Amino acid sequence: MRRVAVTGLGIISPVGNNVTDFFNNLMSGQSGVRRVTEDFAEKLSIKIAAPADFNPSDYFPKKQVWSLERSTQMALSAASQAWNDSGLSLDESEKKRTGTYIGTGMAGAHTLAEAHISVYIKDARVNPLSVTKIMSNAPASHISILYKLEGPCLTFSTACSASSVAIGEAYHHIRTGFVDIMLAGGTESMITMVSMKCWGSLGVLALEDPDDPSTSCRPFSKDRTGFVLGEGAAVIILEEMERAKKRGAKIYGEIIGYSSTCDACHITSPSVDGQARSMHLALDEARISPDDIDYINAHGTATIVNDSVETQAIKKVFSKKAYKIPISSTKSMHGHLLGAAGAVEFIASVLSIKHKSVPPTANLRVPDPECDLDYVPNIGRTGLDIKTVMSNSFAFGGTNAVLIVREA
């Protein structure tokens, strides 16, 4: 089997639109959560979200601002960062062995909402490009078109694990020789009235902190009330290791393990056994033991059930070692980016190796006996010997994905 290097990173997020700002803000505990200011805010019962500070007019000409869905705009912007960061320059034959895998939950949420308003409220003509903006494969397709990549172009929609699955499948396809280079990641933009009302009705959104809305997302804290919807995109460049070395690429790390499993028990309730099995399988593929993991970037959504179940699953896999590993949920700051969450958190994991630092779990202010591991409360840690990191993504539908990356 071939080895797979990470050679480029790009991100648009609620806490930074480049990897440097993103990681610095995470380390300082900077929150991207705020009160929603859109016109529909008055109609919401829960009025907080974590939007990206992203103005498409700063990135695209007027025609593309009109013709591209917001999630696609962010995906293209993140992909451009990753491409430039990697220093790739491909000839025609190399482009045939380069592909694009993107994960998303509902890439066309804004356009779909606009179409509903046009049809049911305004009785007006629908944007003629609505179909090409709404379709979930639009972000991946536009990235492939931009760089003329003729390898596989696939979209994964496994709810909150979608972009981790996209990265994992891209890794496997390079590993087995199907392709040489992959752009992989995820994108999501669901901060619309309909989306927020749907998630709110399900009862999983965090209640607004009356003193400071930015602290409303509190993973692993006993006073947690749910997650905060975030938006953004993250794309990474994966490359066959020897090829990357030969061209003198900057190598952030090496993916060594991946698993994708299904709990097969409930559409919304997570399974301790299912999550533990996914972590075990990733460790097995990486050919390492639990003792080799130096940091876990947890799924950590800040819902009562998820955080408790993930804690139990980590204990089941790591036993006594579980109490010695720093674990954190960066969702406490950037919110839950749903289909893009795994890729955003994978970038945080890669950067933790580069900077030998662990971002905190912000707003963890009330210890929970059911979540009693080292969740790095409130203050990030520096100067750590971090070489191997596990990144967890556990989704509605019971679709789990675990990635393991190590120092190259």
Q: Strand (E) positions, 181-299?
A: 181-188, 232-240, 253-262, 295-297
Comparing C-alpha atoms, which of 4, 86, 10, 83 is closest to residue 351?
10
- Judged by DSSP in three states, 68 sits in coil
Which residues on neighbouring strands pair with residue 336, listed in sequence order?
229
Q: Which residues contact 13 (CB under 8 A, 6 or more apart)?
A: 22, 32, 52, 230, 232, 234, 334, 337, 344
Q: In angstroms, how far is the first alpha carbon of the chain from the final one?
A: 16
| CB 99, CB 179: distance < 8 Å | yes
Tokens of 178: 């199907």
- Measured distance CA(69)–CA(67) in Å, rounded: 7
Q: Among all residues, which ones are annotated catalytic?
A: 160, 299, 336
Tell me the Cα Rg of the chain: 20
Q: Which residues contact 338 (CB under 8 A, 6 or more apart)?
A: 105, 159, 160, 162, 188, 190, 229, 230
- Measured distance CA(191)–CA(340) in Å, rounded: 14
